Amino acid sequence: MKNKNISDIFEEISDILSVSDKPTSRFEVRAYKRAALTIGTLQEDVSDIYRRGGINALMELPGIGKGLATEIEEYIKTGKISKYEELKKEYPIDFNDLLNIEGIGPKTAILLYKKLNITNLESLKKALEGHKIKDLPGFGVKSEQVIADGIRMHESNKGRILLSDGLNEAEKIISILSKSGKVEKVVISGSTRRMRETLGDLDILAISNYPEDVMNIFSNMEDVNGIVVKGPTKTTVSLNIATTCDLRVIEPHSFGAALQYFTGSKDHNIKVRKIAIEKGYKLNEYGLFDKSGKIISESDEKEIYNKLGMQYIPPEMREDRGEIELALKNQIPNLVDISDIKGDLHTHTKETDGINTIEEMAAYAIKKSYQYIATTNHTKSLKVAHGLTDEQFENYFNKVDILNDKLKGKLKILKGAEVDILKDGTLDLKDSTLDTMDCVVGAVHTNTNMDENAMTSRVLKAINTGYINILAHPTGRLINERDPYQIDLIKIAEACNNTKTALEINASPSRLDLNDTNILSTSKLNPLYSVDTDAHSTINMDFMKYGIGTARRGWLTKESVIDTFDLNKLLKFLKKEKKLTN
């Protein structure tokens, strides 16, 4: 998919323009930033959109005007964007690498270039080794340490891509193979099927009477940049999204066993095979066999678990974290499903840093058959996101009231905000403003380097005001980019349970926060959770599948997720008594 490349280029153009003094730069920075968000989160290849309808189809995308559409067209046709090439001559910096390092923003990257000729990760590491950065104005020993820690994290995650990038690519491959008419069945397996937050590679299984044709189609796809190995039943290719994909053509009688084998984690599969041996069977990727060597399972992996005396285990649970013991007792929970979701309680509009209007967000929610959405723009302290003041929220909510009247019950728009939890634990809006809201999402965005006791106390103070309905992205981590801040999630979960505050599972692909292990540990305290997309555009609302995948990896049922509540039940949950401490 060209989406990632174009998104990265637009992001880099925005970064370069953000340090420019030109009068038009501020507008352009925001336009390119929004375009990067739109293209980077598309579920469809932008090339396919262009082929279907040309520039006009591109201009239908959120935040894409004629100028940006023309640049997208230029990249599709030539692999380059001339404006970007010109900017790179002025600043020959590898922004993609450097801006993934905690402690480095666009201005810092350009300062490091001007003062120390740092252009990429290697030159940055050399400067750190010589302790040259600490002596620059505005830097110091602590700054060097933050950057060094950022490099460590960046390199430790190298070779792993985000779930969203991998799943989108895998679904595209499935579509290509399905439309070829050469496969009877084709499915995603591996860690993608388990919905792991990052992926080392992709795995796809197929049944086909034309394996050679299938392998040729697969190895000649547009997104393939190299063939690692090619054979009649297995081919591995290198993809443009910086990972590899294995395609295996499986015999029909082995398909169930292969799907089970190539889905579960290594430890999960070892335990399942051990149970098979104890029952006198042999289990491998080719099938489940009895003592005489006769295969006793075929195309359905559910049959394999059943033959072993186990309840079927959903793919997301297959990590050897106790799921096998539950399956043997027939106690696998009925996991929350995306079909259970009735709304989205964390969304943004163009009033702050979103791309779409509230009318457009509402229309998309209706298209998804939601009962409700909460509109939760940023508050004034978050200047980078153009946060709103108390007065601006009042004016915005008048607009929401008018729209709710027009919708006549097709959708309920809940008035809310993503309110900054300030360093001292107070909230970034007046109590009188918070009182007018249906859904308050509390979030930490600044001063994230506090120690665990201080951060925990800060968030507990905010929760105990009684105003917060949902604690957003509770650890603040960005996958492959930023470590979680230090916080005692057990104390937080206990307070959330006591105050009817939901812990968020933020479905944005770079967050997935809380993650699966956080959910498993906090769920013992019985808090409720909210799976939200943090959507900054209409198409971001499709992130819900990543949040639900994470919730399922944390073994949650729909009873624990407030977004599955119907509107009346949700409103009852949100209208809690305020327990003011100030």
pLDDT at residue 396 greater than cutoff 60: yes
- From 38-42, 151-155, 160-164, 521-525, the region with the lowest mean pLDDT: 151-155
Side by side, which strands form the sheet with 412-420?
343-347, 372-378, 412-420, 439-443, 470-471, 502-506, 529-532
Confidence of residue 582 (pLDDT cuts 50, 70, 90): very low
In DSSP terms, 372 is beta-bridged to 343, 412
Give the three-state DSSP class for 423.
coil
With beta carbons less than 8 A apart as the criterion, state whether 247 and 215 touch: yes
Dmax over CA atoms of the chain, in Å, equals 80
Res 535 pLDDT > 90: yes
Going along the chain from its start, the domains and CATH numbers come out as 3-156 (1.10.150.110), 161-249 (3.30.460.10), 254-328 (3.30.210.10), 338-574 (3.20.20.140)
Q: Specify the amino acid at residue 136.
A: L
* pLDDT tens column, 24-74: 677 888 899 889 989 988 878 899 999 999 999 999 998 899 999 999 999
Residue 429: is its pLDDT beyond 60?
yes
Provide the CA 324 distance to its chain's centre, in angstroms. 28
> How open is the CA angle 205-210-213, to the nearest 5 degrees?
90
pLDDT of residue 69: 96
pLDDT of residue 387: 95
pLDDT bin (cut points 50, 70, 90) of residue 157 is low
Strand partners, 344: 373
Residue 250 is predicted with a pLDDT of 95
At residue 188, the pLDDT reads: 98
pLDDT at 466: 95
Is the pLDDT assigned to residue 580 strictly greater than 50? no
- Polymer length of the chain: 582
Residue holding tokens 């980077």?
A: 40
pLDDT of residue 449: 92
Q: What is the mean pLDDT of the chain?
A: 93
Q: How would you write 61-124 as a 3-class SS string?
A: CCCCCHHHHHHHHHHHHHCCCHHHHHHHHHCCCCHHHHCCCCCCCHHHHHHHHHHHCCCCHHHH
Task: Give percent of the chain with pLDDT exceeding 90.
Answer: 80
pTM metric for this prediction: 0.87
How does pLDDT run across 462-512, given as a tens digit for each residue?
Answer: 999 999 999 999 999 999 888 899 999 999 999 999 999 999 999 999 999
- Cα angle at 331 between 326 and 337, to 5 degrees? 105
Q: Which of 293, 171, 47 is nearest to 57 (CA)?
A: 47
Q: Which residues contact 132 (CB under 8 A, 6 or more apart)?
A: 116
Q: What is the mean pLDDT of residues 231-246?
A: 94
pLDDT of residue 577: 56
